[in-house]
Amino acid sequence: MAHRCEALQEIWHRTIPISAAMEVEVVELASGVLTVRAALAPNVNVHGTAFAGSLYSICVLTGWGFCWLELDARGLDAQIVVADARIEYLRPVRGEIVCRCAPDRNELAAELQPLATSGRAAIELDCAITDRQRPAVRFSARYVLQRGR
């Protein structure tokens, strides 16, 4: 899976300049958990903690990346677009930003089902960022997948 994670990171840095400025790195996809990280320095805010916009961006990329890796593993090709999202900031992030996406496999399979029949699917994904093992950010988004575009 490592080379697919490298491919994902390469796509981000090449086509989304802000992801390169954020120095976003795909750590691994292991046991159904996608882990993405970024150093604090390029993502700092006026308070010296992680910028709310960077925290959101790393979450929205992690969810998008999870969809991309899932489609890739299934040999499917589809455009992936985020439709809407919600985010809660529970506490400041004072160090490296580490984001995880670990959806329920059965729910994911059910949500992906219409892609084969109608060419379209909507997937709800949650991501979480912790700060020294404590929950710092809760994120939830709906991605729309569309084939043949």
Binding site for a copy of itself (CB under 8 A): 11-12, 15-19, 21-22, 41-47, 51-54, 56-58, 60-61, 79, 81-89
- By beta-carbon proximity to a copy of itself, the closer residue of 76 and 82 is 82
- Shortest Å, Cβ 88 to a copy of itself: 4
- By beta-carbon proximity to a copy of itself, the closer residue of 85 and 108 is 85
With residue 119 as reference, give the H or E element that holds it: none
User: How far is 86 from 139, CA to CA, in rounded Å?
Assistant: 6
Here the tokens at position 16 are 């989304």
- Shortest Å, Cβ 80 to a copy of itself: 9
- By beta-carbon proximity to a copy of itself, the closer residue of 18 and 33 is 18
- Shortest Å, Cβ 58 to a copy of itself: 8
- Shortest Å, Cβ 31 to a copy of itself: 26
CB 40 within 8 A of CB 33: no
Q: Output the DSSP codes for 57-102.
A: HHHHHHHHHHHHHHHHHTT--EEEEEEEEEEEE-S---S-EEEEE-
